[in-house]
Amino acid sequence: MSNPRQPAHPIDPLFTERWSPRAFTEEAIPAAQLMSLLEAARWAPSAYNVQPWRFIYAHRDTAAWQPIFDSLVEFNQMWTKRAAALVVIASAREAVFPGKTEPVPNASHAFDAGAAWASLAFQAQLSGWSAHAMAGFDADRLRTAIDLPEGYAIDTVVAIGRKGDPAVLPDGVRAREVPSDRRPLAESAFEGSFGAQG
């Protein structure tokens, strides 16, 4: 099947072929494969290489899965129940920067965690798996469930699985199970000042 997403400028097909499905098969992900995705995330760039990200993961049908799954909003539980794994991405709000001896606020912790998420998502695509990041969860419940220290922010929860048949989804969700488009680049990229026309 041809890819309906067409870039306006030349890019590698990886960027248009990757998307975030909700329909998963119930295939389990081998531990080594999940570690490969997290390894890709580990190599993401970060300010001063402080690597603020932390990954708390759980395979489906394990004791670690249920507390993370239970923290998701009902809508996300509806489709993630078929995922192979859940990964919480958290990031340290403070860091000890080069030349310093004490931790100070790290303004880019969430930005850097986003780079780690993207690396995971692209490695999943390259490996024949799919990843879908979510914001719909009870942060306090999740923090308790994974014993996350107060110095860390929860950035997202990622569902990982093998892309499945959209027929497993309810009607209203099934209709949305297609790769989304993007706004034109001219509406996001400006030369010199915000809103400037190129």
Using one digit for the tens of pLDDT, what is the confidence trace for 126-183? 999 999 999 999 999 999 999 999 999 999 999 999 999 999 999 989 989 999 999 9
What are the residue ranges spanned by the domains of the chain? Answer: 27-165
Class of CATH domain 27-165: alpha beta
CB 87 within 8 A of CB 72: no
d(CA 105, CA 90): 15
For residue 1, pLDDT beyond 60 = no
For residue 61, pLDDT beyond 80 = yes
- If you search the block for the tokens 């990041």, which residue do you land on? 133
CB 105 within 8 A of CB 92: no
CB 66 within 8 A of CB 10: no
- C-alpha distances (whole Å) from 196 to each of 7, 184, 189, 193 are 22, 14, 9, 6
Which pLDDT score, from 0 to 100, does residue 197 have?
Answer: 81
User: Mean pLDDT throughout 42-52?
Assistant: 98
CB 154 within 8 A of CB 142: yes
Per-residue pLDDT band at 198 (split at 50, 70, 90): low
Nearest residue to 89 via CA among 161, 142, 18 = 142
Task: Tell me the per-residue pLDDT of 82-107, one tens digit each, with 9 for 90 and over.
Answer: 999 999 999 999 999 999 999 999 99
Which pLDDT score, from 0 to 100, does residue 9 have?
Answer: 96
- C-alpha distances (whole Å) from 1 to each of 17, 108, 142 are 11, 39, 39
Q: Which helix (H) or strand (E) holds 14?
A: helix 14-17
Instruction: Report the Cα 58 to chain-centroid distance in Å.
Output: 14
Averaged confidence pLDDT in the chain: 96
Which pLDDT score, from 0 to 100, does residue 2 have?
Answer: 56
User: Mean pLDDT throughout 60-79?
Assistant: 98
DSSP state of 29: P
Percentage of the residues of the chain whose pLDDT score is greater than 90: 94
- C-alpha distances (whole Å) from 125 to each of 64, 111, 112, 144 are 25, 21, 20, 31
